[in-house]
Amino acid sequence: MTESRIDYYPTHEHSGFKYRRGHTLPFGAHIVSSGVNFSVFSSSATSCTLVLFRKHEAEPVVEIEFPQEFRIGDVYSMIVFDLETEELEYGYRFDGPWNPASGLRFDRNKVVCDPYAKVIGGRDIWREAPDWNHAHQHRGRLAFDDFDWEYDRPLEVPTEDLVLYEAHVRGFTADPSSGVSAPGTFAGLREKIPYLKELGINAIELLPIFEFDEWENSRKHPETGEWLLNYWGYSTLGFFAPKAGYAATGRFGMQVDELKTLVKELHKAGIEVILDVVFNHTAEGDHRGPTISFRGIDDRTYYILTPEGYYYNFSGCGNTLNCNHPVVRNMVLDCLRYWAAEYHIDGFRFDLASILGRDQNGAPLSNPPLLESLAYDPVLSKCKLIAEAWDAGGLYQVGSFPAYGRWAEWNGKYRDSARKFLKGEPGLVGEISTRIQGSPDLYYYRGPQASVNFITCHDGFTLRDLFSYNNKHNEANGENNNDGGNDNESWNCGWEGETDDPGVNQMRRRLAKNAICLLMLSRGIPMLLMGDEIGHTQSGNNNAYCHDDELGWLDWSGVSKNREMLRFTAGMIHFRREHPVLRGRKFFEHRDTAGSGFPDISFHGTHAWQPDFSGGSRCIAFRLDGAHAKAPDQSIYVAMNMFWDGLPCSLPGPGEGKVWKVVVNTSMPGPDDFYSAADAPVLHDQHNVIVGPRSILVLIADQK
Amino acid sequence: MFSVHKQGDVTIIELEGSIDGKTAPQIREDIRPALDETQKAVLDLTKVVYLSSAGLRLLLLVYREFTARNGKLVLAGVSPDIQAVMSHTGFITFFTLVADKERALEAIGGPAK
C-alpha cells in the first residue's frame, strides 16, 4: 500500500534532483521511504538553502533553496528523493541580516552544520591533519537507525549500588601497552571489558564522546615542540553525533554501530554507560570564533548574549549555550532522549551544570525549566542525572542544585574533606564522619544516592600524584604553569615527585589505599578515576586536557608493576558490592530500629563508644550494624587513624555469637592488606587493636 | 558482479568488487532468485574488496530472511580487514564465518552425496 501514498512522489525538480515539501518534525535529516527528510529551524533567517555534497568533496553536488511554501513557522523542511544515503554530506546556507549587536550573524557564504546532525564528517580519523583550506570542515551525514539490540536495554541498576569508573575513551587504550587490536577506540575499550569486570565496577562514565574537533585551539609547545590538542573534548560540535575519531571504523563512517556495540557489550557485562555531556558551551567560541553551526543559524536563540551582542562566558570557554530558551531546551531534551533511546545510555553527567539553571540573561533561576523538564521526562525517567553543580561564572551549588528528587551531584566537598583528612590535617574528624554517611548536611532531603563521592577525577591530580606532589607541575601545557587549580590539598609524603626512597613510596601506597578504602566504605556513589587502581601518574600535571600522549594515556604496565594496588582496589570494590550495609538508600537514624541491640551506625574512638571529635583528633572509628542493612548483612567496624603514630583502640561488640575478623589493614603490605571473606582471619584480641600509623582497619562480624 | 554455482544441494554465490550503498540494492535483487530456491547457501566474499555499512546491512538482511525459513547460510573468505570492521561494529556476531569454500561446505553439512 505504501507506494500509493501521494507524499512518496516529488513535486519539484532542480538540476535533476527531485524534491517535495517535507515533514517539519523531527528536526534533522532522516531517511524516509525513497528519500531523505530535511528539517531545520531558524527564527530570523530570510531564506534557507539545502547544500548537498558527495562525501569528502569540496564543491557541492547541488544547492536547493527551500521554496517559501516549504517553511512552516520558523521551520524549513523538504524531502529530496533518490539520494545515495551513504555517500551524502549536507549543510545549510542561511540568508538574513548581519547585525551582531542584535544577535544576528547570518552569512550566506558559509555552509553551516545541522545542529541535529546524527553523524558529522570532517574529523573521521583521530589526529589526521585536516585540510584547513577546505571551506566546510564539519558536515552532516545520515545515520542508520536499524541497530540490532536483541534483548538489551538500559540496566537500571539502583543508583546507590553503582561503582563509577571515570574514563577517557582514547586515553584508556591508546598506549601500546594496552595490547588491544584497535587502540584508543570504542572497539579497544570493548576489548578491556573483562578487565573492568574483574575490577568490579558496574558503571563507566565516559569523558565527552559527542563530536568535537581535537584540533580546536591546537598548538605546539614552544619548547618541546609537542602538539597540544583539544584532547579531553569538552567542546561540542554537534550534540547528536558520536566522535568519529574514537571509532576504529570512523574512516568508514560506522561510529554509530561501533559505539552501540560497545554499549551492548558493556551491558552484557553488567556495566552501565554514563556520558559526560557538555551543554554549557559549544566549539564556536566567542565573537572571534568560527561559524560552524549555531551562530550562523540563530545566534541569539542559541547563545546568551550581552546587551551589546557579545557572548557571556559563564563556561570559561568563550560562549554560553542559552539552555533555558525554549528552543534550546527542546534541543537538549531531544538530544538526551535520542542517546537514551537510540544508544541505550544509562545516565548523564552534566559538565558545569549550574549553567543549565541560568536564565536568558545569565541570572540563576530558582526553578529552572530545563532541569525540571529533564527530571520529569518520560524517556529519561530511569536515567541517572548527575550534575557538576558549579560553573565558571561563580555559581557553586553543591548541596543546593535544583534536584526535583532526581539529580545527583559530584560532591566536591567530599573530595576536599577526604583529601585533607587523608593527609593528616587535624580538625577533620567531624566533617569526615558526615561525608562517610553520604553527606546528610548537604542532601538530607534527597538521600545519600544524591552524593557522587570522589577523591580524584579527570580534573586534577591522579591518586598517585595526589600523594607524590605538593604542587602542580603543568609546564608541559605551555602556559607557564598558570593553568590548573592550586587548591589541590595534596601531600608529597616528604619528596616532590618520583623517588627511590622505599619509606616514602610505602607511605604513598598506604595513603592511596586509605583513599580507596574510605571511598568504598562511604555511603553514596563512589567514583574512581581511570588508572588510579594501577598507580597512573601524570607526572604532577593536574590539568592534562591537551595531552594526547603518555601523560594522558593509561600505561598498562601498571597492571604488573602495581599489582598490589590493583588487588587492593578490586578487593575493596567487590567488598562494597557484597555488603548492602555499605549501600543504604536512606540516611542513618543513629538508633536501633531493628532490635539488634546496636544503632544502625555508631561512632567510636580510641575508646569504644567514645568518638573524639575535638580539634586535634585525627582518628575516628565507626560500626555499621548489619541488621539495619537494606538486605540482611554482617556488621562492619572501621577504624581510620590518620595520626602519624599507631593508636590502640578498644572495640565495640560484634554482636551475639559473632567474632570480629580482619578484612583490611592498610598498615600491612600486600597481600596482608586485604583478605577476602573466606580468608579473613579471626582477630586475636577481640577487645583491643592497634591501628597502625596513617592506616585504616576494617573488621567484619562473622559466625564464631 | 556475482556468479552462482551449485555443489550438490549447496548454492555458492561468489560476490565481487565493492558492496556499498550504491551496489547493495542491485546485488540483493540479483542474488534473490538463487537464494529463493535453496536451503543451503554459501556467500563467498573472497573477491570483495570493500564492504560498507550499507553492504553489511544487506548481508544481515539476506541472512535474516534466509534463516527465517530455516535455511543455512555461511560467509566464506571474508578478508581480515572486513572481519575487523564486522567485529568492531558487532555485525560479526550474527553470522557464521568460515575461511574458505571448502570449510563452508563442511560447516553447512556438505553437498548431499
Please check whether residue A504 is in contact with residue A493, taking contact to mean a CB–CB distance below 8 angstroms. Answer: yes
Residue A311: DSSP 8-state: B
Rounded to whole angstroms, how far apart are CA atoms A399 and A409?
A: 8
Res. A421 pLDDT band, cuts 50 70 90: very high
* Nearest-Cα residue of chain B relative to residue A183: B88
Name the one residue in this structure whose C-alpha cell is 591546537: A218
Please check whether residue A355 is in contact with residue A393, taking contact to mean a CB–CB distance below 8 angstroms. Answer: yes
Domain that holds residue A35: 2-141
The residue among A141, A165, A188 that closes a domain is A141
Domain that holds residue B57: 2-108
Q: What do you get for the CA distance between the two ends of chain B, in Å? A: 30
CB atoms inside a 10 Å sphere around CB A444: 12
Strand order in the sheet with B10-19: B2-7, B10-19, B40-51, B72-76, B97-98
CB-nearest to B54 from A86, A248, A264 is A86
**Known catalytic residue at A388:** yes
Res. B113 pLDDT band, cuts 50 70 90: very low
Helix (H, G, I), strand (E, B), or coil: what is residue B30? helix
Whether residue A373 is predicted with pLDDT greater than 60 in this model: the reply is yes
H or E element in which residue A414 lies: helix A412-422
Rounded to whole angstroms, how far apart are CA atoms A540 and A496?
A: 9
Q: A671: cis peptide before it, omega within 30°?
A: yes
Whether residue A1 is predicted with pLDDT greater than 50 in this model: the reply is no
Which amino acid, A668? Answer: M
The string of pLDDT tens digits covering residues A587-637 is: 999 999 999 999 999 999 999 999 999 999 999 999 999 999 999 999 999
Rounded to whole angstroms, how far apart are CA atoms A261 and A469?
A: 40
H or E element in which residue A506 lies: helix A502-521
The string of pLDDT tens digits covering residues A18-62 is: 999 999 999 999 999 889 999 999 999 999 999 999 999 999 999
CB-nearest to B53 from A84, A144, A260 is A144
Q: What is the predicted pLDDT for the residue at A416? A: 97
Which one from A205, A351, A633, A673 is the annotated catalytic residue?
A: A351
Chain A contact for B54 (CB, 8 A cutoff): yes
Q: Can you point out the beta strands (E) in A535-674?
A: 601-604, 619-624, 636-641, 647-650, 658-665
Which CATH number belongs to the domain containing residue A109 in this structure?
2.60.40.10
Q: What do you get for the CA distance between the two ends of chain A, in Å? A: 75
A690 belongs to a structural domain: yes
Please check whether residue A365 is in contact with residue A324, taking contact to mean a CB–CB distance below 8 angstroms. Answer: yes
**What is the interface pTM, i.e. ipTM, of the complex?**
0.93
Whether residue A3 is predicted with pLDDT greater than 70 in this model: the reply is no
A306 belongs to a structural domain: no
Residue A418: DSSP 8-state: H
With a CB cutoff of 8 Å and minimum separation 6, the contacts of A245 are A123, A124, A125, A126, A127, A170, A214
Sign of CA dihedral A40, A135, A321, A399: positive
The string of pLDDT tens digits covering residues A385-419 is: 999 999 988 999 999 999 999 999 999 999 999 99
Question: Which chain A residues are Cβ-neighbours of B85 within 8 angstroms?
Answer: 249, 252, 254
Res. B111 pLDDT band, cuts 50 70 90: low
B11 belongs to a structural domain: yes
Provide mean pLDDT across the span A54-83: 96
What percent of chain A stands above pLDDT 70?
A: 99
Rounded to whole angstroms, how far apart are CA atoms B59 and B46?
A: 15
B21 belongs to a structural domain: yes
Angle, helix A563-578 to helix A502-521, in steps of 10 degrees: 20
CA distances from A132 to A59, A123, A135, A511 (A): 15, 12, 8, 49
Q: What's the burial of A586, exposed, middle or buried (CB within 10 Å: 0-12/13-18/19+)?
A: middle
Q: How far is CA A227 from the centre of its chain?
A: 25
Provide mean pLDDT across the span A94-105: 96
Distance from CA of A247 to the nearest CA of B (A): 8
B58 belongs to a structural domain: yes
Q: Do B60 and A252 touch (CB under 8 A)?
A: no
CA distances from A206 to A230, A278, A537, A544 (A): 16, 12, 19, 16
CA distances from A39 to A16, A49, A242, A293 (A): 21, 11, 20, 15
Please check whether residue A254 is in contact with residue A124, taking contact to mean a CB–CB distance below 8 angstroms. Answer: no
Which CATH number belongs to the domain containing residue B91 in this structure?
3.30.750.24
Whether residue A2 is predicted with pLDDT greater than 80 in this model: the reply is no
pTM: 0.97
Which amino acid, A596? Answer: S
CA distances from A117 to A27, A30, A90, A239 (A): 9, 10, 9, 8
Rounded to whole angstroms, how far apart are CA atoms A339 and A380?
A: 10
Which one from A211, A388, A465, A548 is the annotated catalytic residue?
A: A388
Chain A contact for B79 (CB, 8 A cutoff): no
B113 belongs to a structural domain: no
Question: Which chain A residues are Cβ-neighbours of B84 within 8 angstroms?
Answer: 181-182, 248
The string of pLDDT tens digits covering residues A222-275 is: 889 999 999 999 999 999 999 999 999 999 999 999 999 999 999 999 999 999
The string of pLDDT tens digits covering residues A529-543 is: 999 999 999 999 999
Which CATH number belongs to the domain containing residue A642 in this structure?
2.60.40.1180
The string of pLDDT tens digits covering residues A506-536 is: 999 999 999 999 999 999 999 999 999 999 9
Strand order in the sheet with A636-641: A601-604, A619-624, A636-641, A695-703, A658-665
What percent of chain A stands above pLDDT 90?
A: 95
Question: Which range among A51-65, A286-300, A416-430, B59-73 shows the weakest confidence by mean pLDDT?
Answer: B59-73
* Mean per-residue pLDDT of chain A: 96
Distance from CA of B86 to the nearest CA of A (A): 9
Chain A contact for B61 (CB, 8 A cutoff): no
Please check whether residue A230 is in contact with residue A193, taking contact to mean a CB–CB distance below 8 angstroms. Answer: no
Question: Which chain B residues are Cβ-neighbours of A84 within 8 angstroms?
Answer: 21-22
Domain count, chain B: 1
Whether residue A358 is predicted with pLDDT greater than 50 in this model: the reply is yes
Rounded to whole angstroms, how far apart are CA atoms B51 and B46?
A: 12
H or E element in which residue A98 lies: strand A98-99
B84 belongs to a structural domain: yes
Question: Which range among A26-30, A76-80, A314-318 shows the weakest confidence by mean pLDDT?
Answer: A314-318
Task: Please compute Rg for chain A using Cα positions.
Answer: 27
The residue among A141, A164, A199 that closes a domain is A141
Q: What is the predicted pLDDT for the residue at A360? A: 87
- Which range among A2-11, A26-35, A332-341, B14-23 has the greatest average pLDDT? A332-341
Domain count, chain A: 2
B68 belongs to a structural domain: yes
The residue among A141, A161, A179 that closes a domain is A141
